């Protein structure tokens, strides 16, 4: 008897709020046999997984790996080859800084059927939170996603050459802001360019801070995960009196916001 081979779904879990999952993502979580998820996938999203499914955390936090990428690849192939429906649940969107390419290559080599279910990446949720458009025919017709986190020994990408004053730059895992600000200046952006740092977007712990490239090095260090959005499209968001929304619930001398749970 020939054993039925399973299938692997690479599913985007979005930034954390289960309401931001696609309908298809919710449906696939309901019939999974095995779920291998990132550490950043929220408990609220994991609560949507079938109670019959085996759930395995394969993520890493603060640089501490619970499992190597090679071992994740091996588990995906092993479970699918045993006829299981496997969900590889990735925070945000699987195709944006999620190592989906490595897993796809491994699964294709093993002859495993694959389906990708897109998710809302953190930058889209962050732009929505600060009520800014990432593109605008008046000010920005180019969008650049980069990561400030680099694997040891990897040459950094020379992204400066493609940035103009009509580019919205979104930096995942920005790290130390002073270095990022130097990079952005080197790319030719002016000191007055608006910036927004958004931390833990779509969660009850969300924080955000709006500033300019000149003052970016002085911005508060917000908790990870966070994204930094830089570009002229943020000008309209920065001009709004956003502080009035929640400042009454924050300590004095604070420049960032904490929306209520109902607003998330």
Which amino acids are annotated catalytic?
A: 38, 60
Q: Is 231 exposed, middle or buried (0-12, 13-18, 19+ CB in 10 A)?
A: buried
- DSSP-assigned states of every residue in 82-98: TT-EEEEEESB-TTSSS
**How far apart (Å, rounded) are the C-alpha atoms in residues 100 and 163?**
26
The answer to whether 53 and 59 are in contact (CB under 8 A) is: no
What residues contact 62, with CB distance under 8 A and at least 6 apart? none
What residues contact 46, with CB distance under 8 A and at least 6 apart? 35, 37, 55, 89
The DSSP symbol for 241 reads -
What residues contact 71, with CB distance under 8 A and at least 6 apart? 58
How does strand 64-65 pair with strand 167-172? unpaired
Cα 223 versus chain centre, distance:
14
What residues contact 32, with CB distance under 8 A and at least 6 apart? 9, 49, 50, 53, 85, 86, 87
Angle at Cα 214 formed by Cα 128 and Cα 210, nearest 5°? 25
């Amino acid at each position: 008897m020939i054993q039925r081979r399973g299938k692997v779904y690479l599913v985007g879990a979005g930034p954390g709020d289960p309401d931001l999952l696609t309908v298809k993502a919710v449906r696939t979580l309901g019939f999974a046999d095995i779920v291998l998820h990132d550490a950043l996938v929220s408990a609220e999203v994991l609560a949507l997984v079938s109670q019959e499914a085996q759930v395995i955390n394969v993520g890493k936090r603060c640089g501490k790996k619970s499992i190597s990428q090679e071992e994740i690849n091996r588990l995906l192939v092993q479970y699918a080859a045993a006829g299981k429906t496997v969900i590889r649940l990735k925070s945000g969107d699987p195709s944006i800084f999620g190592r989906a390419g490595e897993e796809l290559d491994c699964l294709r080599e093993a002859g495993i059927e694959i389906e990708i279910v897109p998710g809302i990446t953190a930058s889209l949720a962050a732009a929505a939170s600060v009520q800014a458009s990432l593109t605008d025919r008046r000010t920005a017709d180019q969008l650049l996603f980069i990561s400030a986190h680099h694997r040891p020994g990897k040459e950094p990408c020379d992204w400066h050459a493609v940035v103009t004053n009509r580019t919205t730059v979104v930096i995942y895992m920005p790290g130390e802001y002073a270095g990022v600000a130097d990079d952005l200046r080197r790319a030719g952006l002016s000191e007055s360019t608006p910036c927004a740092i958004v931390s833990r977007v779509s969660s009850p712990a969300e924080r955000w801070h709006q500033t300019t490239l000149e003052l970016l090095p002085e911005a508060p260090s917000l908790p990870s995960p966070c994204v930094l959005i830089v570009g002229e499209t943020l000008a309209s968001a920065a001009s709004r009196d956003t502080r009035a929304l929640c400042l009454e619930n924050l300590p004095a001398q604070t420049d960032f916001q904490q929306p209520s749970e109902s607003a998330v």
